[in-house]
């Protein structure tokens, strides 16, 4: 089972692993239309177009989608 705070990452962690802050990735995901896309397609896009490691592509995608669900 995944811990409740598993997707709760901060800028420092994201910058260390991807080179960019959370706000950058949120903008990328907004422009991509990630809220209405299949999550696996979004993860694949982050990996192929932006060089994000798979774990972090999944983390960013899930974090983004969960935040949109709460909004």
Give per-residue pLDDT as tens, 10-44.
999 999 999 999 999 999 999 999 999 999 999 99
CB 34 within 8 A of CB 64: yes
pLDDT at 1: 44
Alpha-carbon distance values, 38 to 33, 35, 42, 58, 59 (Å): 10, 8, 6, 12, 15
Percent of the chain with pLDDT over 90: 82
End-to-end CA gap in the chain: 25
Residue 4 CB-half CA count within 13 A:
0
Neighbours of 56 (CB within 10 A): 19
């Amino acid at each position: 089972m995944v811990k409740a705070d598993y997707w709760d990452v901060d800028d420092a962690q994201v910058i260390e692993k991807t080179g960019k802050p959370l706000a950058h990735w949120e903008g990328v995901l907004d422009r991509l239309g990630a809220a209405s896309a299949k999550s696996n397609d979004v993860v694949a896009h982050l990996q192929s177009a932006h060089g994000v490691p798979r774990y972090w592509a999944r983390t960013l995608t899930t974090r983004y989608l969960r935040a949109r669900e709460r909004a």
